[in-house]
Amino acid sequence: MNIVLFGPPGAGKGTQAKILTQTYGWPQLSTGEMLRAAVKAGTDLGKKVDAILAKGDLVPDDVVIGIIGERYDQPDCRSGAIFDGFPRTIPQAQALDTMLADRKRRIDVVLELKVNDAVLLQRVEQRIKDSGGVARADDNPETLKNRLEVYYKNTAPLLDYYRKQGKVVTVDGMASIGTVTAAIAKTVEAKKS
């Protein structure tokens, strides 16, 4: 299956993507993790996107579409993938639809993790505390504010794009991790059969 995990920063997409990977084997394709790895490795791509990530702005569509296309063609994505943090704009979603259609595949479900802003801020503050001072460069309350603004302006409109395709299933992302996992598993099992 091909699943899009959708929601604002801190909604739990990464956590749930990893659980889905463990349970079903579909790899987690996180553009954020790929970009952070490029920054860490100091590649040309990393140098290009470092400042953008630190500010919480969006990397250009052609860059992320390129890295997703390359990653999706790896053999471990043959039975599907979990898209985490991609797509984030309408052109990205259209490019993803085209890429999958070219391979005779499609998005099976878009799982929206719904969490309110106050809880997101609390979670990022907790993530900073838990990291013991080595938090992600963009995990601070100020950058989170920008990441949320970018989310509502550029990414949230994608929900309508996918609603029109009848693909959105909304899950209460403020429930416990186990409860969210169970809700997702129920949807995935129903779609699989």
DSSP string, 21-69: HHHH-PPEEEHHHHHHHHHHHT-HHHHHHHHHHHHTPPPPHHHHHHHHH
Residue tagged active-site, from 18, 55, 71, 127: 127
Distance in Å, CB of 189 to ligand AMP, minimum: 26
Active site residue 147: yes
Distance in Å, CB of 46 to ligand AMP, minimum: 12
Active site residue 127: yes
Residue tagged active-site, from 13, 36, 123, 167: 13
Token digits of residue 129: 């505390």
- Residues 6 or more apart in contact with residue 36 via CB below 8 angstroms: 53, 136
Active site residue 13: yes
CA-based radius of gyration for the chain: 16
**Which residues on neighbouring strands pair with residue 82, listed in sequence order?**
3, 28
Residue tagged active-site, from 36, 88, 123, 167: 88
Residues that bind ligand AMP (CB under 6 A): 9, 31-32, 35, 52-53, 56-59, 64, 85-88, 92, 138, 147
> Which residue lies nearer to ligand AMP by CB, 50 or 108?
50
Active site residues: 13, 88, 127, 136, 147
